[in-house]
Amino acid sequence: MAVEALAAVGDRLRRLLETVQDVTLFCVQVVRSAFLPPYYKHEIVEQIHFALVGSLFIVMFSSLVAGQALAIQLARELARTGAKSELGHFMVISVVRALGPVLVGIVVASRMSAGVTAELGAMRSSDQIDALVAFGTDPMKRLVAPRMISLWIALPVLTVIGDALGVIGGGFIGVGYHVTLQSYYNGVAKYLTPSNLLVGMIKPVFFAVLITTVATWKGLTSAGGAKGVGVATTESVVISSVGILVTDFICTKMIFRILNW
Amino acid sequence: MIEFRDVAFWIEDHHILKGVSFTVPKGKTQVILGPSGSGKSTILRLLIGLWKPTSGSIRVDGEDITEISSERLREIRKRMGLVFQQGALFDSMTVGENIGYTMLEDKTDEDEIERKVRISLEQVGLDPDLIDRMPDELSGGMQRRVAIARALASRDPDILLYDEPTTGLDPQSAERITDLVMNLRDRTGKTSVMVTHDIADAFKVGDRITVLDQGIVVFEGTPVELAAAQSPFINEFLAPFRKAVARASRGIVGGSLSAGGSA
């Protein structure tokens, strides 16, 4: 019985390693597909619209609200230590370097993962993917590459917008804690440096790869009809969201090491 | 010409095909017949290169498609038109975009695409004005005919593949599809492979029939030879069909007697 249990564990481990290998190779194909022709311009434009315009309102709203919530926490503590004039400084560090990219990444990941996985899963279960292959189309080029390219464009743009609204929202909260707009602005301007911006803007590049890989992998490999597509969609959202947090941690560690901070 | 030589195919622990061999001469229609789960659709997927056999070879006009590069396989696929079991129409595209899909891929002139799409719709007995409709606005039978039109319009293929084209359709629609397949066979003379579990369709459409049972070829020959075959599996498989034919024959003879005609 112990041998059987051990064999079962070994089998699960083997399957897990095989999946990790397959997903890693798929990730390489995803990135590669975005750089090689042919380019389906109509699909790319459509996906940019879906990712950027479709996510804009929810990113703006979430970033504004999250920035304000963060500002409440920071303003209170800074006021107690007599350093409330530093609110702008800490909002830039917190939002631009960390909260902004992650929040935008998770919001976009939730939306895109669900949509992409469901769409590709439905295509898989109705043989549309096989039909594309049968008619000589590479599904990586037609279905995956446009989504990769669109996220590489949309995520950094949305991150900038999200960061701006988060910081602006913090300013309004600061006024309620008697932080002058001038001191807030001075703090923001002083610490909105190229290196802080770089830290914040590198992450969306990796988030885009993560979201595209997970969402398209889950959709293209889904099985089991409507239920299978539903399960794949849920897993896609969860894996993407958690993956954003893990990727953020890894990126932060790497960037800090490279910048010698 | 299409040749399957000793093709075996496994998915995980399931042995789907076990040493399948058959030949489809150029210009002929081969029907792959068998009960559900016998491996029929797998044969089409192997032929179009969606899957690769575990062993054996598949030759198209002498070229082994299991040993070629993906670019070369893509070129060979362009010579085939496949009608999927449920049609597999692209649901985000109109009927016209579906039928003209490969022409759009090849950057053909838009007016030329529309002209050819309208001709294709007429060829399958559909109103050309359906060109702007979405697939989900059509009935199952109409969707199947659009799928046939798409396969035909796809770079004028040399080889047509039908995966259970009448499955799931009402008898009237199914008969229309079968008649369309026969019409195309007679008119175009293209090499065709049709997968079906419908025995009547197999006898109507096929120049030759291959019968599969659990991944093994149990018969290969003409419809006449199949009708005369006497193995236990063939007898059991054809029994409902033979009974229906016998009943239909008795009905015709009995009807003419009861109407007052002399025997």
Interface predicted TM-score (ipTM) of this complex, two decimals: 0.85
Would you say residue B254 has pLDDT above 80?
no
- Model pLDDT, residue B256: 40
Chain A residue with minimal CA distance to B79?
A: A135
Nearest to B84 among A122, A127, A137 (CB): A127
What is the average pLDDT score of chain A?
94
Q: What is the pLDDT of residues B133-145, one digit of tens each?
A: 999 999 988 999 9
- Model pLDDT, residue B155: 81
Confirm if A196 and A98 have CB atoms less than 8 A apart: no
Q: What is the mean pLDDT of residues A81-96?
A: 92
- Model pLDDT, residue B251: 60
Q: What are phi and psi of A180, to 5 degrees?
A: -70, 150
Residue burial B12-22, b: 16+ Cβ < 10 Å; e: rest: eeeebbbebeb
Confirm if B54 and A97 have CB atoms less than 8 A apart: no
Contact: B86, A127; criterion CB under 8 Å: yes
> In angstroms, rounded to a whole number, what is the distance separating the alpha carbons of residues A75 and A67?
12
Contact: A134, B50; criterion CB under 8 Å: yes
Would you say residue A189 has pLDDT above 80?
yes
- Model pLDDT, residue A245: 97
Q: What is the DSSP string of B161-206?
A: EEESTTTTS-HHHHHHHHHHHHHHHHHH--EEEEEES-HHHHHHH-
**Tally of CB atoms within 10 A around B152:** 22
The pTM assigned to this predicted structure is 0.86
> In angstroms, rounded to a whole number, what is the distance separating the alpha carbons of residues B39 and B213?
8
Sign of CA dihedral A140, A146, A149, A150: negative
- Model pLDDT, residue B115: 93
Q: Quote the radius of gyration of chain B (alpha carbons, Å).
A: 20
Q: What is the pLDDT of residues A125-178, one digit of tens each?
A: 999 999 999 998 999 999 999 999 999 999 999 999 999 999 999 999 999 988
Distances in whole angstroms, Cα of residue A184 to Cα of each of A65, A97, A168, A195, B12:
18, 17, 10, 20, 63
Confirm if A186 and A95 have CB atoms less than 8 A apart: no
Would you say residue B101 has pLDDT above 70?
yes
Instruction: Rank A104-108, B102-106, B225-229 by mean pLDDT and report only the highest.
Output: A104-108
Helix (H) or strand (E) holding B160, with range, is strand B159-163
Confirm if B146 and B88 have CB atoms less than 8 A apart: no
pLDDT-based confidence at residue B257 (cuts at 50, 70, 90): very low
> In angstroms, rounded to a whole number, what is the distance separating the alpha carbons of residues A37 and A149?
12
Would you say residue B185 has pLDDT above 80?
yes
Q: What is the mean pLDDT of residues A184-192?
A: 93
Domain spans of chain B, in order of start: 24-55+69-222
Q: What is the mean pLDDT of residues B111-132?
A: 93
Q: What is the mean pLDDT of residues B194-222?
A: 91
pLDDT-based confidence at residue B152 (cuts at 50, 70, 90): confident
The distance in angstroms from the start CA to the end CA of chain A is 53
Q: What is the mean pLDDT of residues A222-235?
A: 93
Confirm if B83 and B193 have CB atoms less than 8 A apart: no
Question: Which tokens hold the place of B248?
Answer: 């239909």
User: Any idea which of A56-60, A118-122, B195-199 has the lowest mean pLDDT?
Assistant: B195-199
- According to DSSP H, which parts of chain A are helical? 2-33, 41-48, 54-80, 87-91, 100-125, 128-134, 139, 145-176, 181-191, 194-220, 225-258
- Model pLDDT, residue A191: 93
Q: What is the pLDDT of residues B2-27, one digit of tens each?
A: 999 999 999 888 889 999 999 999 99
What is the average pLDDT score of chain B?
87
Would you say residue B245 has pLDDT above 80?
no
- Residue whose token pair is 């034919």: B245
Would you say residue B244 has pLDDT above 80?
no
* Residues in B lying within 8 Å of A, measured between beta carbons: 45, 48, 50, 74, 77-78, 80, 82, 84-86, 88-91, 101-102, 105, 154
- Model pLDDT, residue B88: 93
Query: Looking at the domain covering B24-55+69-222, what would its CATH class be?
Result: alpha beta
User: Any idea which of A66-75, A216-225, B130-139, B153-162 has the lowest mean pLDDT?
Assistant: B153-162
- Model pLDDT, residue B255: 42
Chain A residue with minimal CA distance to B46?
A: A134
Q: What is the pLDDT of residues B222-238, one digit of tens each?
A: 998 888 888 888 888 88
Q: Identify all chain A residues contacting B82, using CB atoms and an 8 Å cutoff.
A: 131, 134
Q: What is the mean pLDDT of residues B52-70?
A: 92
What is the count of residue pairs from A and B with beta carbons less than 8 Å apart? 41
Confirm if B24 and B30 have CB atoms less than 8 A apart: yes
* Residues in A lying within 8 Å of B, measured between beta carbons: 122, 126-128, 130-137
> In angstroms, rounded to a whole number, what is the distance separating the alpha carbons of residues B140 and A12?
42
